[in-house]
Amino acid sequence: MSTLEELDDLDRREREDKKKDQDKDKNNKKEGDGDAEMKDAEPEADDILDEEILSLSTEDILMRKRLLENDARIMKSEYQRLSHERATMKDKIKENQEKIANNRQLPYLVGNVVELLDLDPTAESLEEGANIDLDATRVGKSAVIKTSTRQTIFLPLIGLVDPEKLKPGDLIGVNKDSYLILDTLPAEYDSRVKAMEVDEKPQEKYTDVGGLDKQIDELVEAIVWPMKEAERFKKIGIKAPKGALMYGPPGTGKTLLARACAAQTDATFLKLAGPQLVQMFIGDGAKLVRDCFALAKEKAPSIIFIDELDAVGTKRFDSEKSGDREVQRTMLELLNQLDGFASDDRIKVLAATNRIDVLDPALLRSGRLDRKIEFPLPNEEARAQILKIHSRKMKVNPGVNWGELARSTDEFGGAMLKAVCVEAGMIALRMGKNQIGHEHYVDAISEVQAKKKDVSDSPREPRACVPFTDHAYRLSTSMLNLIAFSTVPKAMTHLLRQGHGRFIEIGMQ
């Protein structure tokens, strides 16, 4: 058994040795292939270099070695010099950044860019024998600025602001000593114009407006669609209206619909009234109009709502009064902004008036306020709808007959119908009721109608009483003879002369 085991061990060793030899052959073959590839990839320059070195003498080789060492020392010293300069530049940059930060913290001198210039050094160098100024050799933008101290200054170097971002008229902040431009400032607008911007969107919706379905559609087509779906207008090749004019009797929902339009769009909404544009000083109203449109252009897309347009948009006429001429200048500026060279399609103008008959024809022509939307008094169906809208949040008895109430409110506008609803609620509160019934609405209609008649037909007083005091005694006694012969009885005249009277009662008969 031992002999057989020894034979098996010998066979196994022979097989392992044979396997190892095969693996070595494979590895040697791979290395040989790799060396062959490397040799093939080596350039012939090495062979040429070897031949050149072999052809040189020992002194030449030593000379070349010394030259290479000298070049290495020069490159090392150059590297050290560049490293030192780099560290110095880093320190300077850090120092300059600290100076810039300190300058930005200092108060700025406010100024305006008057003009931007391109320096051309070739024009100066054409003169033979002339000394060339250092500023003339600089290539790039320069600027002329005007400060708030009324100084006009030329800047060969603009400062910390990119010249490409500047344009004439920009508001800038400059250093008070060197006048270098440190930063650009926001555009300057009149504080009254900034107050016109509606920061919080109104809460009204189109569903809060009753009886004006046609007017809502026309307003959406003229104002909302061009802002939200401008691509559709471009595809079909038409130009959207620049604005719309809403006109009609007072209290028909013009301002309410404008608020609903502002709530349904994402545009900036600027609201101004026509009387705001009537200013005391010459040119102040026109400046307000310019600033308003400039702010709208900056925050475009935007909507400008002008209420009571007839305050500045009346027909022009010859007048020697400066106030009338100032109103006309304001209207001319408004016309220029609507349809001038600087007009912007992203700005929509929405105007409202009660007197379209007094407006200037230049305002009403096509190309300015293209869409004219009439707001008539509501019909019977619209009046019932308006009453329901204003009564939605009230506790109303289900037995209220809206149709009968609508028939009883002929020639009522939307504002008067709202007053009817409020008055009905007040009557119900006065009577201690928890719900508003039909009879409360009927009483409210009578109340609103009575107030309307009182305002329109107020009776004149038959008699008038003029106060008289002891302080005016001497002044009145000089007129007593005239009064005695005209209207006042002699007994009253006697009392007045004695100083007992307190009133002079004059009959109007």
Q: What is the pLDDT along the chain (509 residues), one digit of tens a residue?
A: 445 556 566 667 767 776 766 666 666 655 555 555 444 545 555 566 667 777 778 888 888 888 889 999 999 999 999 999 999 999 999 998 888 777 777 788 888 898 888 866 555 444 444 444 544 445 568 889 998 888 898 988 888 888 888 888 888 888 888 888 888 887 776 667 777 777 777 778 888 888 888 888 888 888 888 888 888 888 888 888 888 899 988 888 888 888 888 887 778 888 888 777 777 777 788 888 888 888 888 888 888 888 888 888 888 777 666 667 778 888 888 888 887 656 677 888 889 998 888 888 888 888 788 888 999 888 888 888 899 888 888 888 888 888 888 888 888 888 889 899 999 999 999 988 888 988 989 999 988 888 765 555 444 444 344 444 444 444 444 444 444 444 444 444 444 444 444 444 443 33
Rounded Cα distance, 60 and 50, in Å:
14
Residue 508's pLDDT is what?
Answer: 37
What's CA 380's distance to the chain center, in Å? 42
Residue 72's pLDDT is what?
Answer: 93
Rounded Cα distance, 350 and 444, in Å:
34
Q: Is 93 helix (H, G, I), strand (E, B) or coil?
A: helix
Measured in degrees and rounded to the nearest 5, phi and psi for residue 98 equal: -65, -40
What's CA 447's distance to the chain center, in Å? 45
**What string of H, E and C letters represents the secondary structure of 205-251?**
CHHHCCCCHHHHHHHHHHHHHHHHCHHHHHHHCCCCCCEEEEECCCC
* Type and span of the H or E element at 153: strand 152-155
* Type and span of the H or E element at 99: helix 58-105
* Type and span of the H or E element at 15: helix 2-41
Tokens representing residue 486 in the block:
């005209």
Are the C-beta atoms of residues 147 and 171 closer than 8 Å to each other? Answer: no
Rounded Cα distance, 448 and 47, in Å:
116
Rounded Cα distance, 265 and 300, in Å:
12
Rounded Cα distance, 39 and 244, in Å:
86
Strands 140-147 and 268-273: unpaired
Residue 82's pLDDT is what?
Answer: 93
Residue 306's identity, in one-letter code, is I
pTM as predicted? 0.58
Rounded Cα distance, 285 and 334, in Å:
10
